Amino acid sequence: MARKISYQQAINEALAQEMRRDSTVFIIGEDVAGGAGAPGEDDAWGGVLGVTKGLYHQFPGRVLDAPLSEIGYVGAAVGAATQGLRPVCELMFVDFAGCCLDQILNQAAKFRYMFGGKAVTPLVMRTMYGAGLRAAAQHSQMLTSLWTHIPGLKVVCPATPYDAKGLLIQAIRDNDPVIFCEHKLLYSMQGEVPEEVYTVPFGEANFVRDGDDITLVTYGRMVHVALEAANNLARQGIDCEVLDLRTTSPLDEDSILESVEKTGRLVVIDEANPRCSMATDISALVAQKAFAALKGPIEMVTAPHTPVPFSDALEDLYIPDAAKIEAAVRKVIEGTRSAA
């Protein structure tokens, strides 16, 4: 069987393999080496959670600690990308997007269009997202729908170590700017990952569970929560199909529609806030293009329309869990029983 490594190791391995293959790939970010200029080790941290640990010594001069200035180094990564390099910049927490948004929103994303198709900006911005670490409102957001909303960006949210490696290699080789979102609670997740180099294509959702009764569409960490719910529901005789989008831009509309055409029922699960979210986007897509196949209303399981709270008592309520997904599924199933 294939070797098992963690999501975090898979990301590190993807970076190492691509840096070895392509000398134009480099890493820049806050503490990506960690320790630059400090009295201790030069790569004391290897990223705030150690994701880039060890790369500094393997690739001298290509793992660059930046001063704490997200506009400065994210913008520098964008600029370097226009000059024939393939920067992988790390925005430590996606919440810091507020600081550097212009360089992504108005620069990287728009160059190709504004410049009449002449610019190529192969930027990867790796960033950590998601609730569950008691990190409160400024270190726990999703923002996936924000990125997905912006034409010119590709948005990737791997759910497994296998996908993390293959999608990151794809992202580095991709010629468009890619926002690569890593859920902080997934870093320790173990999974089978080939030692060899491979890519997972963008825009191809993964059917992580086949089922006939209802379609659960989700992405990122919620894939595992949806699977837990699906397994619980199986004991009650409800057979869920679980679709992991893998990338929200491009979006695999065909697979979503294919599944809903089969099951006639849809629950969308999104860890993000509900308004203008992937959940509403996918619900609208299905309502528009597969309405006739629907046996009843679509349900959405999302975070509430609040910031992420700090106290565990509140954060646990904030994050969609299997029980909420099961309740939503039962609601749809019961509401459509006559049509079943």
Partner 1 sequence: MSTHLSPEQLLHAYEVMRTIRVFEERLHVEFATGEIPGFVHLYAGEEASAAGVMAHLRHSDCIASNHRGHGHCIAKGVDVYGMMAEIYGKKTGVCGGKGGSMHIADLEKGMLGANGIVGAGAPLVAGAALAAKIKGTDDVAIVFFGDGGSNEGAVFEAMNLASVMNLPCIFVAENNGYAEATASNWSVACDHIADRAAGFGMPGVTIDGFDYFAVHEAAGAAIERARSGQGPSLIEVKLSRYYGHFEGDAQTYRAPDEVKNLREQRDCLMQFRNKTTRAGLLSPEQLDAIDARVADLIEDAVVRAKAAPKPQPADLLSDVYVSYP
Partner 2 sequence: MSQILTLTMPKWGLSMTEGRVDTWLRQEGDEINTGDEILDVETDKINGTVEAPFSGTLRRLVAQPDETLPVGALLAVVVQGEADEAEIDAVVQRFQAEFVAAEGSEQATGPVPQKADVGGRLLRWFELGEGGTPLVLVHGFAGDLNNWLFNHPALAAERRVIALDLPGHGESAKALQRGDLDELSQAVLALLDHLDIPRAHLAGHSMGGAVCLNLARLAPQRVASLGLVASVGLGETINGQYLQSFVAAANRNALKAPMTQLFADPGLVTRQMLEDMLRFKRLEGVQQALEQLSAALAEGDRQRHDLRAVLGQHPALVLWGSEDAIIPASHSDGLDAEVLLVPGAGHMVQMEAAEQVNQRLAEFLRKH
Tell me the catalytic residues: 139
**Residue 78, exposed/middle/buried by CB under 10 A (0-12, 13-18, 19+)?**
buried
Span near partner 1 by CB under 8 A; candidates 174-182, 265-273, 296-304, 327-335: 174-182
35 or 203: CB nearest partner 1? 203
Helix (H) or strand (E) holding 290: none
Least distance between partner 1 and beta carbon 267 (Å): 26
150 C-beta neighbours (distance < 10 Å), count: 18
- Main-chain dihedrals φ then ψ at residue 220, nearest 5 degrees: 65, -145
Least distance between partner 2 and beta carbon 12 (Å): 18
By CB under 8 A, residue 82 contacts partner 2: no
CA distance 110 to 113: 6
Least distance between partner 1 and beta carbon 103 (Å): 6
Q: In what order do the strands lie in the sheet with 178-183?
A: 63-65, 25-29, 86-93, 124-129, 178-183, 154-156, 247-249
CA 29 from chain center: how many Å? 19
49 touches, from partner 2, partner 1, none (C-beta below 5 to 8 Å by class): none
Residue with tokens 């912006």: 150
16 touches, from partner 2, partner 1, none (C-beta below 5 to 8 Å by class): none
CA distance 31 to 22: 23
32 or 303: CB nearest partner 1? 32
57 or 337: CB nearest partner 2? 337
Q: Prior bond to 250 cis, omega within 30?
A: yes
246 touches, from partner 1, partner 2, none (C-beta below 5 to 8 Å by class): none
Least distance between partner 2 and beta carbon 17 (Å): 9
87 touches, from partner 2, partner 1, none (C-beta below 5 to 8 Å by class): partner 1
Q: Which of 196, 288, 292, 305 binds partner 2 (CB under 8 A)?
A: 196
39 DSSP assignment: S
Q: Which of 40, 60, 117, 237 binds partner 1 (CB under 8 A)?
A: 117
CA distance 208 to 227: 8
199 DSSP assignment: -
Interface ranges with partner 2 (CB under 8 A)? 1-2, 4, 162, 166, 194, 196-201, 204, 206-207, 209-211, 231, 234-239
